[in-house]
Amino acid sequence: MWRNPLSSTDFVWAHIGIAARGLDAPYVIENSHRDSSAGRRAAVVGGSLAGLHAAALLRSDGWDVHVYERSAKLLDGAGAGIIAHPATLRFLTDVEGVPASSICCRATAIRTYGADGASVAEPSRDYLTTSWTALYRSLLASVGHDRYHLGHELVGIDPGPDSVSISFASGHTTRADLVVGADGIASTARRVLKAETTREYSGYVGWRGIVDPGLLDPEVASKLSQAISFGSSRDGHIVAYPIPKSGDSSQVMLNFVWYRNVAVGSEFDELMTDAGGVRRDVSLHNPRPSALAEMRASAEELGPDLANLVASTPKPFLQAVFDQFADQMAFGRIALIGDAASVARPHAAAGTAKAAENGRMLAQALRESNGNVQAALSRWEPGQLELGQQLIERSKALGESAQAALTWPTRDPASEFGLYGPGR
Ligand SMILES: Cc1cc2nc3c(=O)[nH]c(=O)nc-3n(C[C@H](O)[C@H](O)[C@H](O)COP(=O)(O)OP(=O)(O)OC[C@H]3O[C@@H](n4cnc5c(N)ncnc54)[C@H](O)[C@@H]3O)c2cc1C
């Protein structure tokens, strides 16, 4: 059992509160905002982190919000680890009063593994880490299960002057004053709205996994449980960090992403074909046994500690890494947010923070526009396009240099995780 020290010590709550407030003023939801949105209906399409974040924010502002998710069952357990930036936690901690210690772990060192397998740990600024599942469960509780509609796949959008009608594969339709498209990298909303979109494969994939440290050599588990760790292989670099265990945040799990260069062509096509023979575009959770065996064997290149980590992962999964940018996020009463709007490579570890920030700024623009949804979206869009673009550019530069040099520049302050820039 690897205990999460955040859960057992008196983690100074103000610590995260102060950090979270660093970017901007804290949330204050005034009654006048509730009044202007009271009775107004918002439909959020996509019930993952971007959609839930926006829905929870709008609900707390008084909107009558409903979330429509394609999946027929709860997404619980769908993701892995997430670096918790101030923007990632701000709604949950500042508005909902969720203690950061109940959903986060803390890493206070950077551990760098050399080619000989030896490692050095150096003190770093505090990083809070969390898990996709912890955020999902907390945000879903804020939105409410009664407003979260599974098995609803968006197929059509029909904008009118005073409201928008959306339709689902089931034949069901609904109408709303505001529609938020949070349906991910392959967004149907974006396709239906014909947003100009560029997508580029980075030239590498990320093998991801979550491991119980109890399965590792205890000394290795101890090293990896306290730091953000970086190592390298002949074809890329790996990052690992502790996250809270799903359903029991007093325990620590270990999360990793191992980025491996794979050129476009037959090797990539085979890798992206799952055990059932289906060629996947973006991610797969059931890799072919031969791909898994190759990955596990190659992990020896990472040195004994990180090989121990990778080899102990019960269910590794794979994601191809892309840059994707849609040049429009506002379409009258319809907003695109999160991965539906833009996808940056994960090296700034800020995709979830960007999604949360898209929602927060949208809610703010709606509050400031006295109920005029179109005006709010027009005001909101330029800053959010710019945020997405800068994150793509910074993450691309970091990823390209790291995958070419086959190491992460841990001592370079420019390589720090962050949404608005290194460490921010
Ligand atoms: C390798 C890798 C590592 C990453 N690491 C990090 C990290 O450390 N930190 C971080 O912040 N981010 C990280 N990310 C990014 C992060 O996962 C996302 O950017 C973030 O969670 C926002 O996701 P989203 O909600 O916009 O999209 P998604 O999570 O893709 O959700 C989209 C949802 O929409 C639903 N949907 C799709 N189509 C329809 C439809 N037609 N109708 C209804 N519903 C639909 C889907 O079922 C899904 O639930 C990483 C990404 C990758 C690839």
Q: What is the pLDDT along the chain (424 residues), one digit of tens a residue?
A: 677 777 654 343 333 332 333 333 334 444 445 556 667 999 999 999 999 999 999 999 999 999 999 999 999 766 689 999 999 999 999 999 999 989 999 999 999 999 899 999 999 888 999 999 999 999 999 999 999 999 999 999 999 989 999 999 999 999 999 999 999 999 999 999 999 999 999 999 999 999 999 999 999 999 999 999 999 999 999 999 999 998 788 899 999 999 999 999 999 999 999 999 999 999 999 999 999 999 999 999 999 999 999 999 999 999 999 999 999 999 999 999 999 999 999 999 999 999 999 999 999 999 999 889 999 999 999 999 999 999 999 999 999 999 988 888 888 888 899 999 998 8
- Residue 307 inside a domain? The answer is yes
Q: Are residues 313 and 397 in the same domain?
A: no
CA 36 / ligand 1 centre spacing (Å): 31
Residue 418 lies in a domain: no
Distance 300 CA to ligand 1 centre (A): 30
Q: Are residues 70 and 171 in the same domain?
A: yes
Among protein residues, the one with the nearest Cα to ligand 1's atom 38 is 183
**Based on the structure, what is the number of domains in the chain?**
2
Among 321, 338, 367, identify where a domain stops: 321
Q: Left if phi > 0, otherwise alpha if psi is -120 to 50, otherwise beta: which for 391?
A: alpha
181 lines ligand 1 (CB under 6 A): no
Name the token pair of 136. 């999902």
Per-residue model confidence (pLDDT) at position 17: 33
Last residue of a domain, one of 276, 293, 321: 321
Verify whether ligand 1 is closer than 6 Å to residue 352 (CB atom).
Answer: yes
- Closest residue by CA, ligand 1 atom 51: 346
Give the chain's length. 424
- How far is residue 57's CA from residue 329's CA, in Å, rounded to a whole number? 18
Tokens of 395: 């993450």
Pocket flag, ligand 1, residue 349 (CB < 6 Å): yes
42 lies in some domain: yes
Q: Find the 320 Cα to ligand 1 centroid distance in Å.
A: 13
Supply the angle between the helices 373-405 and 351-368 in degrees, to the nearest 10: 160
Structure confidence at residue 133 (pLDDT): 93
Q: Does residue 410 lie within any of the structural domains?
A: no
Q: Give the closest residue to 406 by CA, choosing from 192, 261, 242.
A: 261
Q: With contact defined as beta carbons under 8 Å apart, do 273 and 288 qualify? A: yes
Name the β-bridge partners of 67: 44, 148
- Claim to verify: residue 10 and residue 159 sit in the same structural domain: yes
Distance 122 CA to ligand 1 centre (A): 32
357 Cβ below 6 A of ligand 1: no
User: What CATH number does residue 31 fall under?
Assistant: 3.50.50.60
CB 378 within 8 A of CB 88: no
- Mark whether 185 and 239 lie in a shared domain: no
Does 116 map to a domain? no
In terms of DSSP H, where are the helices of 46-204? 49-60, 86-90, 132-143, 188-192
Q: What's the confidence (pLDDT) of residue 7?
A: 67
Tokens of 306: 């990180």
Domain of residue 305: give its range: 201-321
Among all chains, which residue has been given the structure tokens 């950090």? 19
Pocket flag, ligand 1, residue 346 (CB < 6 Å): yes
- Say whether both 304 and 338 belong to one domain: no
* Residue 95: Cβ within 10 Å count: 16
Q: Which residues of 410-420 are buried (b: 16+ CB within 10 A; e: fewer)?
A: beeeebbbbbb
Residues 81 and 178 in one domain: yes
Indicate if 283 and 314 belong to the same structural domain: yes
* pLDDT at residue 10 in the model: 39
The answer as to whether 421 is a domain residue is: no
Q: How far is the CA of 381 from the centre of ligand 1 (A)?
A: 20
Q: Establish if 381 belongs to a structural domain.
A: yes
Q: 184 alpha carbon to ligand 1 midpoint, in Å?
A: 5
Please check whether residues 381 and 253 belong to one and the same domain: no
Give the 3-state secondary structure of residue 27: coil
Distance 243 CA to ligand 1 centre (A): 18
Is residue 170 located within the same domain as residue 280? no
Ligand 1 mutation pick, 76, 243, 339, max ligand atoms within 8 A of CB: 339
Protein residue closest via CA to atom 15 of ligand 1? 351
Q: Are residues 238 and 297 both part of a single domain? A: yes
CATH code, 258 = 3.30.9.60
- According to DSSP, residue 215 is labeled G
Q: Does residue 146 share a domain with residue 18?
A: yes
24 lies in the same domain as 67: yes
* Boundary-marking domain end, from 265, 290, 321: 321
Q: Answer whether residue 357 is part of any domain.
A: yes
Which atom from ligand 1 is nearest to the alpha carbon of 51? 25
